[in-house]
A and B are shown apart, each in its own frame.
Chain A
Amino acid sequence: MNEHGALKWRFDVSTFRLIGRDLITDRVTALFELVKNCYDANATDVTITFNNVSSKQSDSFISVADNGIGMSFVDIRDKWMVIGTSNKREHSYTPEPIKRRCVGEKGIGRFAVDKLGDIVNIRTKQINEDKWLEVVIDWNAYFDKSKEKGEIQLFTDIENEYSYTDADNISEHGTRLLITGVREAWAKGDIMRFISEISKIVSPFADFSYPFKIRVIAPEFNIDTLASRNIDDVNIATLSFTLDYNTFQGYQEVAKYNELSGNIEIDKIPLKSFGGIRMRVYYFDETARRKYRKDFPNNQIDGIKIYRDGVITTPFAENEHDDDKKRDILGIDKRIWMNIFDRVSSREIIGLVEITKEGNPLIIDATNRQDFVDNEEYKELKDFIIKQLDCIENYKKYRRKAKKKESQGTLEVAGQNILDFISSVESITRDNPNLKESFAPVIEQAKKTGKAVRTAIKEKKEAEEEFARKENIYMSIMSLQEYAIHITHAVRTTLNKIRDRVEYFDMFFPDQDEEELFKRYAKEMFREFKVLNRVIDYMLSYSQSNLHPEDIELNDTIREIYSEYAPIFTSNQVIVDLVLPGKITLKDTRKQFFRDIFQNLLDNSVKAVRNTDKKIVRCEVVLEKEKLIILVSDTGYGIPVENRQWVFGIYNTTTQEQGGAGIGLYIVKTRVESLKGHIEIIDSEFGDIGTTVKIELPFKK
């Protein structure tokens, strides 16, 4: 092998830009990626040094040095310099004896250095090698090249120098990246934020045989610290609980909210399918959050993280400064629109879920390592985690009600005190008329204050009513916002179907041989327009606040809706069974509500029977004394008993993988409730298969 030479990258300009500039958006992420690489190299000690980085100076540098396994010439040539063929993808665990789960992402870490500085000097050595290998990469050269006009597509014309130097000690090993020409100045806050992020790789509760210590040094800011997550920062939480498990005794602890005491208690249940987990949750109310932000300006309250054997698994060792872009893998934040005031968001809790490779073998890492394999056990784990948050939500509700009562009470007591005061003073002046003149201004003042308090109480009540009204509007807007995303998808798909046919006409019309086809396409376009109209009507109906009340014939309405579904039933080979009694007139009701109810239920039924042999959708209307009962059934895949109530919550869906958004049944429920009715899922009319939805509405003959 040559002692000196040149190495070339093996990718093109656009790839370089895509990875380097789009994926690594900020410096903290960039450095974070480099530290992940150290972890994957089995390093136990990493030192990150910031030298004179507060202003761009000639001696400013950032160095990342580890005592990992180091890289060989072949590693650098075939792995470091080739994107997307990361060794880590093929081997998800690092070499023996440490065998860590790899955390670095598909070799993009190396592009992180580009974000940090112009020139990087890599110095690396594996154990027992007698020389250190040094490679110098000057990023300016790439950019100069990519700015050039013409046909230059590849970087293969640019060479990176490499050389070898003798090692004093052959047992040494590791890699050091020395980044010079530092691109942007680093303030102390930036470095502190980096320390905060990097400290989350390892669980603060983990006990490792092979530690991963990260030391950060920045002499100009007097920083020389080990980046480890300090569990003291959760001490100011408003509420916290820890759940444990015991494999031998076969139990898992769960959190339970006690409505009487307003406290969270711990209960025991049999171990779940995903195995025992340890979970710690810390909830911060508004006051605690303010204090947290003040005390730990560089840390964030950032939701629940899952650690396996002490190392973060998901959200997968990512640094995303923008909260809105964070992946909501556990589905905590998407629930928030259901009840913005009581639902717990990931910005109010810090949580750690600890699992192990041995104890939770059915929680399997997904191949992209961003999540877990979506099997039944993982679904149950996610469900378990969310359910533990329910008790915090109940606690929030309890606190909100108590506070409201408290403030209402204080004002009313103040009002009464003033009245008592006036009455006492008037009584004194009655007994001592000579004091009447002296007390007159006091009484006058007290009466004014009393009036002001009464006005305040009235205003408060009005404000509360206004708040409740706005709360309703606000929530409906939020639902609509999310709903609009689904609507646009539906609109776009329909528009594309129409566009394909129009384009076909444009290209091939007229053609006598294809007359029938053109007719069919025309009919299909017409049908798609109808679908488009339905989607738009539906969207409008949802945003309408004043739906016009009218008398409707229920049977006609149901038949009308079912006839609109006829093409869908036919194309899906669904048999429809309608059992309707005689004429039923519903007075002053809202037809649109019935449309929404049936459309959503029918959509669900069609989806449910799609992959079953027997495809029947049934609707029966029964008249009872002062009650109208509507039963909508299908022979689909059914809903498990434990989910019968849950499916009515917004975004709660058992068919997420099939594109279910969890909105349909929520709308059905709200519509039924608006009609002063009740909805539930009962045992299927078809026995072991399918679903039956029962709607009860008040009805007077």
Chain B
Amino acid sequence: MNYKLVFIDDNMREGLEHPFVRAIGKKRKSAELSVFIDPSKGLDYVLNNLNSKMIVFLDYKFDGYSLQGINVLKEIRKRTSLLYIVMMSANSINQIAGLDILEMINENYIWFFDRNNGTIDDACNLIDKINRLWNVRFDCILENWIIKHPNDANKKVFSQPGQEESYTWERILVELREQTPIGKMFEKLINQFYIYNLTTKSEQNAEDNNSIQ
């Protein structure tokens, strides 16, 4: 298993046997599939699995449920801004309420999938696109590193000044995915470190070049 594909849609009562889900499962074999027709159950599952690589296919409109797609999106975003969400709608994007569009366009990791016109291949292409993006994301790179170097997983690599608690790579991965203050701070620190490192390196190179001249 490489990543999770979660479908939250009240019209997918057949679960994993739903043809749309099943077809995607057959075409993208490395994905672990789950289907929820009740948006609150789907939301619970997503929130309990934030430390996994996951794409959520989320229906926009749930007939008969007070929780709607936009609410699920908001609840997920309260916990993490890293998760990829594919909003599915039987209506075109123009028919979605203006304010909901506003909520969505401000999101970084969100796509739309038109259930009337989009094909299974379109959905698979979207999954591939997200997979490519994963390859450059810090948490995903870290996950790959841990998979390839299992011995590093439990190495204590980070601690905060003045605090005894220290963090392993495995723990940092969880903190990153759940977007905890520690996770966010660590990501920022790492980025700053590399920028600093590259800058000083380039200055050093420049100095070296100058000294050579």
> Contact at B64–A504, with CB atoms within 8 Å?
no
> Contact at B120–A658, with CB atoms within 8 Å?
no
Is B26 an interface residue when CB atoms closer than 8 A count as contact?
A: yes
Residues facing B in A609-667 (CB within 8 A) are 610, 655, 657-659
Is A492 an interface residue when CB atoms closer than 8 A count as contact?
A: yes
Q: Which residue of B lies closest to A571 (CB)?
A: B13
> Contact at A492–B98, with CB atoms within 8 Å?
no
Q: How far is the CB of A461 from chain B (nearest CB, A)?
A: 47
Is A248 an interface residue when CB atoms closer than 8 A count as contact?
A: no
Complex-state Cα separation, A23 to B115, whole angstroms: 25
Residues on B with C-beta less than 8 A from A571 are: 13
Known: A23-B98, A106-B102. 4 other contacts (CB 8 A): A106-B99, A374-B66, A493-B11, A521-B19
Q: How far is the CB of B13 from chain A (nearest CB, A)?
A: 7
Residues facing B in A445-493 (CB within 8 A) are 489, 492-493
Complex-state Cα separation, A507 to B25, whole angstroms: 13
> Contact at B19–A504, with CB atoms within 8 Å?
yes
> Contact at B63–A497, with CB atoms within 8 Å?
no
Residues on A with C-beta less than 8 A from B105 are: 15, 18, 84
Residues on B with C-beta less than 8 A from A22 are: 98
Residues on B with C-beta less than 8 A from A208 are: none
Is A438 an interface residue when CB atoms closer than 8 A count as contact?
A: no
> Contact at A508–B65, with CB atoms within 8 Å?
no
> Contact at A659–B90, with CB atoms within 8 Å?
no
> Contact at A496–B17, with CB atoms within 8 Å?
no
Is A339 an interface residue when CB atoms closer than 8 A count as contact?
A: no
Residues facing A in B103-130 (CB within 8 A) are 105-106, 115-116, 119-120
> Contact at A496–B90, with CB atoms within 8 Å?
yes
> Contact at B115–A607, with CB atoms within 8 Å?
no
Is B193 an interface residue when CB atoms closer than 8 A count as contact?
A: no
> Contact at A503–B102, with CB atoms within 8 Å?
no
Is A411 an interface residue when CB atoms closer than 8 A count as contact?
A: no
Contact (A492, B13) CB under 8 Å given A504-B22, A507-B23: no
Complex-state Cα separation, A571 to B15, whole angstroms: 13
Q: How far is the CB of B111 from chain A (nearest CB, A)?
A: 14
Residues on B with C-beta less than 8 A from A607 are: 64
Interface string of B83-109 (1 = CB under 8 A from A): 000000010000000110110011000
Q: How far is the CB of B73 from chain A (nearest CB, A)?
A: 13
Is B18 an interface residue when CB atoms closer than 8 A count as contact?
A: yes
Is B138 an interface residue when CB atoms closer than 8 A count as contact?
A: no
Contact (A18, B101) CB under 8 Å given A492-B116, A658-B63, A659-B64: yes
Is A214 an interface residue when CB atoms closer than 8 A count as contact?
A: no
Q: How far is the CB of A21 from chain B (nearest CB, A)?
A: 12
Which of A85, A496, A571 has the largest number of chain B CB atoms within 10 A?
A496
Residues on A with C-beta less than 8 A from B64 are: 607, 610, 655, 658-659
> Contact at B90–A84, with CB atoms within 8 Å?
no
Residues on B with C-beta less than 8 A from A504 are: 19-20, 22-23, 120
Q: How far is the CB of A571 from chain B (nearest CB, A)?
A: 7
Offer 16 A-B interface pairs, CB within 8 angstroms, sorted by A.
Answer: A23-B98, A84-B106, A106-B102, A374-B66, A489-B90, A492-B90, A492-B116, A500-B20, A501-B19, A507-B23, A507-B120, A517-B17, A520-B17, A657-B65, A657-B66, A658-B63
Interface string of A375-399 (1 = CB under 8 A from B): 0000000000000000000000000
Residues on A with C-beta less than 8 A from B63 are: 658-659
> Contact at A493–B106, with CB atoms within 8 Å?
no
Complex-state Cα separation, A15 to B64, whole angstroms: 32
> Contact at B23–A508, with CB atoms within 8 Å?
yes
Contact (A503, B119) CB under 8 Å given A18-B105, A23-B98, A106-B102: yes
Is A368 an interface residue when CB atoms closer than 8 A count as contact?
A: yes
Task: Tell which of B11, B26, B101, B119 touches A497, judged by Cβ atoms closer than 8 Å.
Answer: B11
Complex-state Cα separation, A503 to B22, whole angstroms: 11
Is A299 an interface residue when CB atoms closer than 8 A count as contact?
A: no
Is A329 an interface residue when CB atoms closer than 8 A count as contact?
A: no
Is A240 an interface residue when CB atoms closer than 8 A count as contact?
A: no
> Contact at A508–B90, with CB atoms within 8 Å?
no
Is A83 an interface residue when CB atoms closer than 8 A count as contact?
A: yes
Residues on A with C-beta less than 8 A from B101 are: 18
Judged by DSSP, the binding face of A is helix
Residues on A with C-beta less than 8 A from B19 are: 500-501, 503-504, 521
Q: Which residue of A lies closest to B121 (CB)?
A: A507
Q: How far is the CB of B99 from chain A (nearest CB, A)?
A: 6
Is A108 an interface residue when CB atoms closer than 8 A count as contact?
A: yes
Residues on A with C-beta less than 8 A from B115 are: 496
Q: How far is the CB of B63 from chain A (nearest CB, A)?
A: 4
Q: Which residue of B lies closest to A374 (CB)?
A: B66
Interface string of B5-32 (1 = CB under 8 A from A): 0000001010001111011001000000
Complex-state Cα separation, A374 to B127, whole angstroms: 36
Q: How far is the CB of A103 from chain B (nearest CB, A)?
A: 15
Q: Which residue of B lies closest to A367 (CB)?
A: B74
Is A589 an interface residue when CB atoms closer than 8 A count as contact?
A: no
Residues on B with C-beta less than 8 A from A83 are: 106
Task: Tell which of A15, A497, A503 touches B120, judged by Cβ atoms closer than 8 Å.
Answer: A503
> Contact at B106–A85, with CB atoms within 8 Å?
yes
> Contact at B22–A658, with CB atoms within 8 Å?
no
Q: How far is the CB of B107 from chain A (nearest CB, A)?
A: 9
Residues on A with C-beta less than 8 A from B65 are: 657-658
Residues on B with C-beta less than 8 A from A501 are: 19
Q: Which residue of B lies closest to A83 (CB)?
A: B106
Complex-state Cα separation, A504 to B64, whole angstroms: 28
Q: Which residue of A lies closest to B94 (CB)?
A: A22
Q: How far is the CB of B37 from chain A (nearest CB, A)?
A: 11
> Contact at A658–B23, with CB atoms within 8 Å?
no
> Contact at A503–B23, with CB atoms within 8 Å?
yes
Is A92 an interface residue when CB atoms closer than 8 A count as contact?
A: no
Q: How far is the CB of B11 from chain A (nearest CB, A)?
A: 6
Q: Which residue of A lies closest to B102 (CB)?
A: A106
Q: Which residue of A lies closest to B62 (CB)?
A: A659
Residues on B with C-beta less than 8 A from A15 are: 105
Residues on B with C-beta less than 8 A from A374 are: 66
Residues on B with C-beta less than 8 A from A121 are: none
Complex-state Cα separation, A578 to B163, whole angstroms: 71
Residues on B with C-beta less than 8 A from A493 are: 11, 90
Is A370 an interface residue when CB atoms closer than 8 A count as contact?
A: yes
Complex-state Cα separation, A412 to B23, whole angstroms: 77
Complex-state Cα separation, A84 to B65, whole angstroms: 27
Task: Tell which of A370, A496, A507, A655 touches B99, judged by Cβ atoms closer than 8 Å.
Answer: A370
Q: How far is the CB of B74 from chain A (nearest CB, A)?
A: 8
> Contact at A496–B120, with CB atoms within 8 Å?
no
Q: Which residue of B lies closest to A23 (CB)?
A: B98
Complex-state Cα separation, A438 to B98, whole angstroms: 80
Q: Which residue of B lies closest to A520 (CB)?
A: B17
Which of B11, B64, B65 has the largest number of chain A CB atoms within 10 A?
B64
Complex-state Cα separation, A421 to B57, whole angstroms: 85
Residues on B with C-beta less than 8 A from A368 are: 99
Q: How far is the CB of B161 from chain A (nearest CB, A)?
A: 27
Complex-state Cα separation, A10 to B75, whole angstroms: 25
Task: Tell which of A18, A500, A507 touches B18, judged by Cβ atoms closer than 8 Å.
Answer: A500
Residues on B with C-beta less than 8 A from A500 are: 18-20
Residues on A with C-beta less than 8 A from B116 are: 492, 496
Complex-state Cα separation, A500 to B11, whole angstroms: 11
> Contact at A108–B17, with CB atoms within 8 Å?
no
Residues facing B in A7-24 (CB within 8 A) are 15, 18-19, 22-23
Residues on B with C-beta less than 8 A from A489 are: 90
Residues on A with C-beta less than 8 A from B22 are: 504, 517
Residues on B with C-beta less than 8 A from A659 are: 63-64
Residues on A with C-beta less than 8 A from B99 are: 106, 368, 370
Complex-state Cα separation, A507 to B123, whole angstroms: 14
Q: Which residue of A lies closest to B119 (CB)?
A: A503
Complex-state Cα separation, A571 to B98, whole angstroms: 36
Q: Which residue of A lies closest to B21 (CB)?
A: A500
Q: How far is the CB of A403 from chain B (nearest CB, A)?
A: 42
